[in-house]
Chains A and B, each alone.
Chain A
Amino acid sequence: MAKMTLEELRALRDAKKNEMTQRDTNEKSAQIIIGMGTCGIAAGAKEAFDAFLDELDSHSVTNTKITQTGCMGLCFSEPTVEVAVPGMPRVIYGNVDDAVARRIVKEHLIGKSLVSDHIFDKPAVDIIK
């Protein structure tokens, strides 16, 4: 791969935008929030981040945001990842390594079913309302 310039980067983005707008208008996006504090990083949060990117891209998933946050205060189950898919309960997954990140993409984001064995917490109150 040749060293990409900012102009080339911009052109690629514009091309992608054109192809997207027809499909994804006014659909709410899914959100993945990765805990990237010291413990998260030490436990492999960056590998999880990379696995999410790779898996989402290889399944051509769109309309998804990946953000990061500092310490979630759950050091013992890092890396922790919060996933919010519109119309589904918001959940926090613990011990998310490369393989679990890929499962979350396939089962939760695409298949719309929770990866139950890695759910750390499900703050149900605001969802039931």
Chain B
Amino acid sequence: MHATICDMITDLVQNAIEARATEITLEVKETKTNLKFVIADNGKGMSAVVLEKAKDPYYTDGQKHRYRKVGLGLPFLFQTAEMTGGKAAITSKEGEGTTVTFNVDPTNVDLPAFGNFTTAAVALMSYEFEGNLSIERSAQNKSYSVNKNELVEALGNLNELESLTLLKQFIASQEEDLEAL
């Protein structure tokens, strides 16, 4: 299982990237009683049959990693839901896209730590793919949103160290504002 919620989110957004999505939205909302994340993509989607198989750790599409015969991203999600009384759901349509939703009580003792969202966001924003990623983030009643297109417009190539350093400062300042009372 993944050590943090942010690791799980990173992994699931990468599934969307690997499904050749050009538009991905990541929503992460925390309240005192509920933690929710939703990853929606317009990638290749899955048929009902593939979707059912994908929940099984012994399924992977056979192309992504030639040497590893298991896919763990989705099984990790369902396992975490099961352990914590949370709810994981996937809806998908072949050729249209996929939406993964997770809801859980944030006070559940079996829930992995939330992790560092800034690092996750910086890594995801700078993961090279032909498309846009939008993040909508809120905690209690504060929120911010940011997307890759506007970041590239402001910073240029996001893989350059100088851009990454500034990107990290930018996201960190948004995250700090969420936590400030």
Collect the chain B residues with CB atoms within 8 Å of residue A17's CB.
156, 162
Is A9 within 8 A of B123, CB to CB? no
Collect the chain A residues with CB atoms within 8 Å of residue B169's CB.
1, 4, 12
Query: Contacts A61-B161, A67-B128, A68-B126; is A46 near B119 (CB within 8 Å)?
Result: yes
Tell me which of B3, B119, B173 contacts A49 (CB under 8 A). Answer: B119
Interface residue ranges of A38-70 to B (CB < 8 Å): 38-39, 41-42, 46-47, 49-50, 53, 56-57, 61-68, 70
How far apart sit A65 and B128, CA to CA, in the bound complex (Å)? 12
Is A4 within 8 A of B11, CB to CB? no
Tell me which of A4, A37, A50 contacts B14 (CB under 8 A). Answer: A37
B interface, how many residues as a size bin? 35 or more
Tell me which of B2, B119, B166 contacts A50 (CB under 8 A). Answer: B119
Interface string of B145-181 (1 = CB under 8 A from A): 0000011011111011111111011101110110000
Is B116 within 8 A of A56, CB to CB? no
Interface assignment of A129: CB less than 8 Å from any CB of chain B:
no
Tell me which of B72, B76, B150, B159 contacts A6 (CB under 8 A). Answer: B150
Interface size on A, residues (CB 8 A): 38
How far apart sit A19 and B43, CA to CA, in the bound complex (Å)? 40
Is A53 within 8 A of B7, CB to CB? no
Interface string of A67-94 (1 = CB under 8 A from B): 1101101010000000000000000000
Collect the chain A residues with CB atoms within 8 Å of residue B120's CB.
46
Q: Which B-chain residue is minimally distant from A57 (CB atoms)? A: B165
Interface assignment of B114: CB less than 8 Å from any CB of chain A:
no
Query: Contacts A41-B10, A46-B10, A53-B168; is A6 near B144 (CB within 8 Å)?
Result: no
Tell me which of A2, A36, A47, A67 contacts B159 (CB under 8 A). Answer: A67
Collect the chain B residues with CB atoms within 8 Å of residue A13's CB.
154-156, 162-163, 166
- Residues of B that sit less than 8 Å from A by CB: 1-3, 6-7, 10-11, 14, 18, 64-68, 71-73, 76, 116, 119-120, 122-123, 126-128, 144, 150-151, 153-157, 159-166, 168-170, 172-174, 176-177
Residue pairs across A and B with Cβ atoms less than 8 A apart, 25 shown, are A2-B173, A2-B177, A3-B144, A3-B177, A4-B169, A4-B174, A6-B150, A9-B151, A9-B170, A10-B154, A13-B155, A13-B166, A29-B160, A39-B68, A46-B6, A46-B10, A49-B122, A53-B161, A56-B161, A57-B161, A62-B162, A67-B128, A70-B65, A71-B65, A75-B68
- Residues of A that sit less than 8 Å from B by CB: 1-4, 6, 9-10, 12-13, 16-17, 20, 29, 36-39, 41-42, 46-47, 49-50, 53, 56-57, 61-68, 70-71, 73, 75
